[in-house]
Amino acid sequence: MSAKNEGPPSLHDIEIGEKIEIGKFRMDREYVEYIAEQALSENKWVIMVVVGTKPDFYKQYSLLYWAQELDVPVILATTGQHYDELLGYGLKEFRMYPSIDLCIRGDLLRKATEMFYRIGQLGKWLKKKYPKLVVLPIPHGDTLSAAIVSASWFLSTRQGVGQNEAGLRGMAPKSWRNNEVYHKMKNVTIDFSKFIEDQWYGEWFVLRNEPYPEQWDTFVSGAGSAYLFAPHEINKKHLLNEGYQEESIQVVGNSVVDAIKLVPKPEKSIFDIYPKLEEYDNWIRVDIHRRGNLVESRFKSIVEGIISLVKKGQPVVWVELVATREALEFYGLRDKIIRLSEEYENFLFTPLWASYGNVIEFWKSGHCIAELTDSGSVQEKLNDISEVLCLTIRCNTDRPESVFDANSNLLVPPVSGEFISKFVNFVLNSDDIINHMRNAKKIYGVDVGKKIISFLLKEMERGEYPFKWVHQQLWDIPPEKSPEYL
């Protein structure tokens, strides 16, 4: 989806600024200039929606959709880090056509370095060519692109960005900060009913070591943001506690609800791709990729728990993400899992499902009873899709509201394989727990992209600017010219 919805733009290699290799990326320069001039003629900003990873493609789509619907100039930029057919399929699925491709490659450090420089060069070029134009990048959530785009844009243009899904902070139940509780979990002597009660109704505290590096990403992104679009009141509370001004925070919900509504029908049914999925109506779908869960004790506990569930007859479909494969091979367990899939009819081990629509199709099919996941966005999605129970295999979560507010989610700390297997079985054999989770309140809103774009349109109409000096903040003084000293 380009801003004019006319199909893929023509991207060309481009160098902006100094002629060094790290500054090279791809851009449809003619189209970007067209949108910039349109914005100036209409006295509007350009919204630059930024995507980088697979979840960004569907969570950011509604911003493009509503920008077009509300006639706001918009361009799409991708970091290019998910460039292969599988990980990058979301761009094709949602018909999102980037006008800018930063062509980022490499490990975490290289990606951050290249992204920082290229975004900065893009910002400087736009500011020099269109000094009166406001371009507002909107990165997403707690991704690396959220951190680096915000920081680079802030330092290169002296403007803040808009962070979609701001204020995510890791939290854990207060009762878990206790070695006795840990040993009871590990030895499976804990009272499961009380364990669940403590999650749903007990006190929680901020514990932001994980997810890594996402907690760092979201903090850095917030620091470079003029607008913080929070999914839930708990996110606003975190931001206020950290000193952000209330007027910069808008609680809008989570754009994942828009994606569920707007996702195109998949080209091929998941049941045609994997016919075995029709054989059971109580599959547990598993996806694991968090770096914290790749630590030996935790990862082996997860593997042992899954094996135990399968051997007890529970249908399990385990989707192998890139991190899953890395860890299975690192610990010499991948052949064991493949043999398990060959031996047990109730176990299916698949590659990553490229289509987001296929995931939604499966969840809504009546064939999936639960998701055993360490994904953040899955916790949000399964609040909206109540047919499937969310069991989050982590020791903390940056979506705690899905647990203590909605009760649509439960944490399953990976302390041992036996604990995972027995706790999951306890939940799946309790009609009261299943009914309670399936009847959880919806907490992430509707038409979230519309709320974000509508708010920004009002900011444009008021003549606001995504950066204020202190005297402007204190006394509502309009922007003034000053030397460009950066």
Q: What angle do CA 331, 336, 339 make, to 5 degrees?
A: 160
Q: How many residues does the chain have?
A: 486
pLDDT for the residue 21: 37
Residue span(s) of the chain under CATH 3.40.50.2000 come to: 12-169+208-254+445-475, 270-438
SS3 214: helix
User: What is the mean pLDDT of each successive set of 10 residues along the chain, which is 486 residues long?
Assistant: 54 48 73 96 97 87 95 93 68 87 86 91 93 96 93 95 97 95 94 97 95 94 97 98 96 95 94 97 96 97 98 98 95 97 97 94 97 96 96 97 98 97 98 97 96 97 91 87 74
pLDDT for the residue 257: 95
pLDDT for the residue 80: 77
Q: Dig out the tokens for 129 from the structure.
A: 């060519």
Cα–Cα nearest to 467, from 227, 222, 221:
227
Environment class of residue 160 by beta-carbon count within 10 Å: exposed (0-12), middle (13-18) or buried (19+)? buried
Cα–Cα nearest to 466, from 166, 128, 158:
158
Cα–Cα nearest to 394, from 375, 380, 377, 408:
375
pLDDT for the residue 244: 96
Domain at 270-438, CATH class: alpha beta
* Sequence letter at residue 475: W
Q: Which residues contact 106 (CB under 8 A, 6 or more apart)?
A: 114
Query: Is the Cα torsion angle 230, 235, 236, 241 positive or negative in sign?
Result: negative
pLDDT for the residue 249: 98
The answer to whether 452 and 66 are in contact (CB under 8 A) is yes
Environment class of residue 344 by beta-carbon count within 10 Å: exposed (0-12), middle (13-18) or buried (19+)? middle
Cα–Cα nearest to 324, from 363, 362, 350, 360:
350
**Which run of H or E residues covers position 166?**
none
DSSP secondary structure string for all residues of 41-59: HTT-PEEEEEE-SHHHHHH
CA 35/CA 33 separation, integer angstroms: 5
pLDDT for the residue 87: 63
CA 60/CA 214 separation, integer angstroms: 17
Q: Where are the beta strands (DSSP E) in 198-324?
A: 204-206, 225-230, 249-251, 283-287, 316-320
Q: Dig out the tokens for 146 from the structure.
A: 């959220």
DSSP secondary structure string for all residues of 395-426: SSBS-THHHHTT--EEE---S-HHHHHHHHHH
Q: 12-169+208-254+445-475: which CATH topology?
A: Rossmann fold (3.40.50)
Distance in Å from the first CA to the final CA of the chain? 35
DSSP secondary structure string for all residues of 73-130: -EEEEE--SS-STTTTHHHHHTT---SEE----SSHHHHHHHHHHHHHHHHHHHHHH-
